[in-house]
Structure 1
Amino acid sequence: MNTPHGADTFTCPEFLAMERTIIDDFVDCTREACEEAEVCVKELNNGGGTAYIHRLFRAMHSLKGNCQMVGLGPFTDLLHRIEEIVARVRANQDPYFRELGEFLLLANDEVEDLLNDLIAHGFTSDIRRKKLFDLCDALQKNSAHGFQPQHFKDAIALLDGKAESNDTVSKPQKVVLELPADMELMRKFAAHIDNLSIYRKNRTDQVAQLTESLNEALNFLVDAEQLKVASLMHDVGMSFIPHSIFNKEGVLSKEEVKKIQEHVVTSSQLLLRFGGWDEAARMVLDHHERFDGSGYPNGLQGEQIHPGARMLSIVDTFCSVTNERSDRSYKRSLLSAISEINANSDSQFDPQMVEVFNSVVRKLIAKQ
């Protein structure tokens, strides 16, 4: 459906009118399906068997079905065309090859971008949607003798050039040298760190919402604005850590651990540079201290740790567990996370705050 913003855009009123919790659930399911597709493509590129083809098809089918369920008709049609490509491989009509998998991942990224744009602005680019639809259509029509790697290479090149699409070129934006509000800039920094890993999608927003709830349950023990800023900025220093360490799987060396630990200093120093956020800077500096004194960077203990940092420590660990990729349901993941928090009460976390956080999580589970 075209919008007042022009014939080059479309919107989905039925979807946008839904409750925010439903939209958030849809976003979570979409992210999980895209992550599953990424895992399957990676395994298939490394010689994985037909089981990964079936899993890939189910992931694409879930994406399409979820869109259909919430009234995203234009996305349903698009994802059906993408799904048809996987269906041919699943039915042994065509072989799987690396270029096909890379195209599917790029197509999923494009769908996610369009969905995020729709949610953020209420409309998104119909030119980009049609371009991807037409590419999928062309791949089908040009495959009378089977899918060819070169056809997918060409499609990848065309899709990867979306930054130069007509809607972007026809609407150049002027860059104005101006200083945005602190909170706006901090949100951009937080979004950047969240985009560096598939395990951090919307992580900072989750931390900010839960710390706000915990602070409220504690009768606003600390200043709400300072706590929000600390929640947004607590991990921004991680973006200065080399990617080889940030995304490393397995055991870190002592030097790598030291590099990771530096992020609390970097993040707090950035806040001091902003000015007016000294309390938030202290919360960020202390949020990896442990209640028993075995944390970093200063080995503080108990009440020596800023109360905002004690809240942030609990919530940050909780969100870390619930954002891990696994086959568990969301509700079970919540229970696993709160079990870990309770198991470390009085050693890692403030036991009184843990008790209050339990009630916050119970309300969260009830909503789910």
Structure 2
Amino acid sequence: MERAIIDEFLDCTTECHTEVEACVRALNQHGGPEYIHRMFRSMHSLKGNCQMVGLTPFKDLMHRVEEIFAHLRAHPEQYFPELGEFLLMATDQIVDLLYELLKQGHADENRRALLATVCDNLRQQNQGALQAASFRDAIAMLGGKTKEKSPGGRGNRVNLQLQDDISLMRYWADKIDALTVFRKNRNTTSVELALELNTALGKPVDAQQLEVAVLMHDVGMAFVPHAIFNKETNLSREELRILQEHVQIGSQMLLRFGGWDDAAAMVLDHHEYYDGSGYPNRKKGEQIHAGARMLAVIDAFCSVTTERSDRSYKKSLLSAISEINANIHTQFDPHIVGAFNEVVRNMVLRSA
């Protein structure tokens, strides 16, 4: 694999482990099924990432852990600290083995096989109600308590050198995606779609300016209070004003960088509607930057194909495309939507 892909995989792995730790801590302190859901999503994401990069043995190992987790998801009232300790220890060992494999080219097969056997035993022993004693035995088999992390441990890479603009922007975009489990890896998908759409349209905008616009279009969301960002009911007029300011914040940041004027215009315009009913300047049609018209379609597509806190399911690709096509001439540029349909169709064919 390319070094950039390996680094991204390691970053996602560290994020997954951090999320599991936070959820176990919350469950032990005050409980709540939402933390079980968050922990499952994080572990499932790690399994998917292992499959994506061809680490099938680790994907299978994560699947064994997930099978234990499935019972807990169905019966969250059965949670007990020993279960959280085991899940944290299992994730900790998997992450250790992944780092060992990717850094040294090999991992301890005996440790992997032991964890797989322990998971299989737990599944057999806990087919009814979950038993704390069996999880205590499993923890003992794996070596006891989870180890304390040192401040300079894995994943803590502090770089005091000045990064190039795009690397820094990609880092910020990853941080925005990490604000909620419902945005996992969204900026990566959005960049890929944007560049393919730009090519399909004959490259009407500079590819690098477009990539930066995709990475920065929601950075302003970091300045929106979480109470507004995660609100599931209708926003008040003042809350809506605060939310909409994110386009100005992102575009101003790009102007301050210098050299990214086109990207700044795309960020500012990406919530303008084709019929002139968007924000912040109520531009319409060709007045809206071409890159922003592309970004509007991609942003909508990623939003409706991703689970959200106010929606317990995610829509299929076909449903998302249908929803976008239903809003041409009003929200979206029909020419761009037509090209996007073809991009998604090709994407589906490649993955078939």
Structure 1 distance, partners of 2:33, 2:342, is 47
Percent identity between matched residues is 43
Structure 1 distance, partners of 2:275, 2:229, is 27
Note if contact 2:219-2:246 (Cα within 8 Å) is conserved in structure 1. Answer: yes
Question: Given the alignment, which residue of 244, 267, 270 partners 2:227?
Answer: 244
- Residue 353 of structure 1: CA displacement? 1.1
Matched, 1:147 2:132: yes
Moved more, 112-121 or 204-213: 112-121
1:96 alignment counterpart: 78
- Residue 278 of structure 1: CA displacement? 0.7
Structure 2 distance, partners of 1:245, 1:124, is 46
Question: Given the alignment, which residue of 248, 257, 261 partners 1:278?
Answer: 261
Q: Which amino acid aligns with 2:212?
A: V
Note if contact 2:272-2:281 (Cα within 8 Å) is conserved in structure 1. Answer: yes
Tell me: CA distance 1:225–1:322, structure 2 relative to 1, closer, same or farther (3 Å): same
Q: Which amino acid aligns with 1:346?
A: H
Alignment of 1:72-151 (within 5 A): 72-73=56-57, 76-77=60-61, 80=64, 82=65, 96-100=78-82, 102-103=84-85, 106=88, 110=92, 147=132
Note if contact 1:114-1:124 (Cα within 8 Å) is conserved in structure 2. Answer: no
TM-score normalised by structure 1 residue count: 0.65
2:300 alignment counterpart: 317
Structure 2 distance, partners of 1:249, 1:309, is 27
What SS class does the counterpart of residue 78 from structure 2 fall into?
Answer: coil
1:352 alignment counterpart: 335
Matched, 1:306 2:289: yes
- Residue 323 of structure 1: CA displacement? 1.4
- Residue 248 of structure 1: CA displacement? 2.1
Tell me: CA distance 1:83–1:181, structure 2 relative to 1, closer, same or farther (3 Å): closer
2:211 alignment counterpart: 228
Cα deviation, 1:89-129, whole Å, max 9, x if unaligned, reads: 79x9xx82353564466468657866986898786997xx8
Tell me: CA distance 1:319–1:164, structure 2 relative to 1, closer, same or farther (3 Å): same
Tell me: CA distance 1:84–1:220, structure 2 relative to 1, closer, same or farther (3 Å): closer
What SS class does the counterpart of residue 231 from structure 2 fall into?
Answer: coil
Matched, 1:161 2:148: yes
Cα deviation, 1:295-349, whole Å, max 9, x if unaligned, reads: 01111111110111000001110111111267878xx711111111100000000
Moved more, 268-277 or 318-327: 318-327
Note if contact 1:211-1:311 (Cα within 8 Å) is conserved in structure 2. Answer: yes
Q: Which amino acid aligns with 1:161?
A: E
Structure 2 runs not aligned, ≥5 long? 126-130
Structure 2 distance, partners of 1:122, 1:359, is 42
Note if contact 2:274-2:285 (Cα within 8 Å) is conserved in structure 1. Answer: yes
Alignment of 1:164-243 (within 5 A): 164=151, 168=153, 175=158, 177-243=160-226
What SS class does the counterpart of residue 241 from structure 2 fall into?
Answer: helix
Note if contact 1:117-1:123 (Cα within 8 Å) is conserved in structure 2. Answer: no
Number of aligned residue pairs: 305
How large is the RMSD of aligned CA atoms in angstroms?
4.9
Q: Which amino acid aligns with 1:366?
A: L
Tell me: CA distance 1:207–1:160, structure 2 relative to 1, closer, same or farther (3 Å): farther
Structure 2 distance, partners of 1:254, 1:111, is 48
2:128 alignment counterpart: none
Structure 2 distance, partners of 1:348, 1:102, is 46
1:334 alignment counterpart: 317
Note if contact 1:341-1:354 (Cα within 8 Å) is conserved in structure 2. Answer: yes
Note if contact 1:290-1:347 (Cα within 8 Å) is conserved in structure 2. Answer: yes
- Residue 250 of structure 1: CA displacement? 2.6
Matched, 1:254 2:237: yes
Tell me: CA distance 1:122–1:277, structure 2 relative to 1, closer, same or farther (3 Å): farther
Alignment of 1:11-30 (within 5 A): none
Structure 1 distance, partners of 2:106, 2:302, is 30
